[in-house]
Amino acid sequence: MDSAFLITAFATLFVVIDPPGLVPLFIALTQGMDAPHRRRLAQRACIIAFILLTLFGLAGETLLGFIGITMPAFRIAGGILLFLTALDMLFERRTQRREGQHADPDHDPSVFPLATPLIAGPGAIATMILLVGQSGDGWIGTLAVLGLLAVMILATFLFLLASPPLERMLGRTGTIVITRLLGMLLAALSVQFVIDGVRGTGLI
C-alpha cells in the first residue's frame, strides 16, 4: 500500500469531515442538554456515521445506481435537509431554548443532522466511494481506507466530547452569537450543496 495514498486519504477525510468544525455545531444542536446526554448523542452519531460511510464506501455506487439515485440528486437532498436545520438554528427552536425554556427531551439530533449530513454528508460519502475505488482491487487497500475512516470518526468523537469546556468559555452570549452565525453558515453551505448537485446534473 502506497504511503503517499494513505497520507492523502487521511488528509482528505480530515478536511471533508472537519472534526474541529463540528464542535460549535454540536454545541448549538445540543444546547441545554447535560453532559451524559451529549456523550450518548455524540457516540450514537459517530457510530451511525461510521456505518453509513462504510456501507457507501463498499457499495455506494452500486447501491445508489440500483435504486436510481445519482450523486447530484443525493447532494441536492442533503442540501435541502441541511437548510431546514439552519432555519431551526436561526429561529423558533433555538430561540425558545435561549429564552430559558427546557430542552425538548424527545429532541435527538444524533441521526439527523449530526450523523448525516454533517458527519456523513454528501462530500464524505463521495470521498469514501472515490478512496475505496482508488485503493486497488484487493481487500488490503479497502481495509486501510476503512481503518483511516475509523481513526477519523474516533477523532470526531473526541472533539465532540471536548465541546463542554468550549461552551463554558463562550458563555451564554457567546453561544447565542455562535448559534446564529452557524445557522447562517449552514444555510449557505446547504445552498452550495444544492448548487453542486444541480451542476452535477449538467443543467448549469
pLDDT in tens, 2-35: 788 888 889 889 888 888 888 888 988 888 888 8
189, 84 Cβ separation under 8 angstroms: no
pLDDT tens track for 132-176:
888 877 788 899 999 999 999 999 999 999 888 877 787 777 777
**pLDDT greater than 90 at residue 95:** no
Question: By C-alpha distance, which of 109, 111, 124 is closest to 47?
Answer: 111
pLDDT at 145: 94
Q: What CA–CA distance (Å, rounded) separates 54 from 101? A: 39
Question: By C-alpha distance, which of 81, 93, 95, 113 is closest to 193?
Answer: 81
The three-state secondary structure class of 41 is helix
Q: What CA–CA distance (Å, rounded) separates 13 from 153? A: 10
What is the pTM (predicted TM-score) of this model? 0.73
Query: In the numeric block, which cell numbers belong to residue 5?
Result: 495514498
Q: What CA–CA distance (Å, rounded) separates 116 from 131? A: 19
pLDDT at 104: 54
pLDDT at 92: 53
Residue 103 DSSP class: P
Residue matched to cell numbers 448548487:
195
Phi, psi (5° rounding) for residue 123? -65, -45
Q: Which residue has the higher pLDDT, 46 or 65?
A: 46
6, 142 Cβ separation under 8 angstroms: no
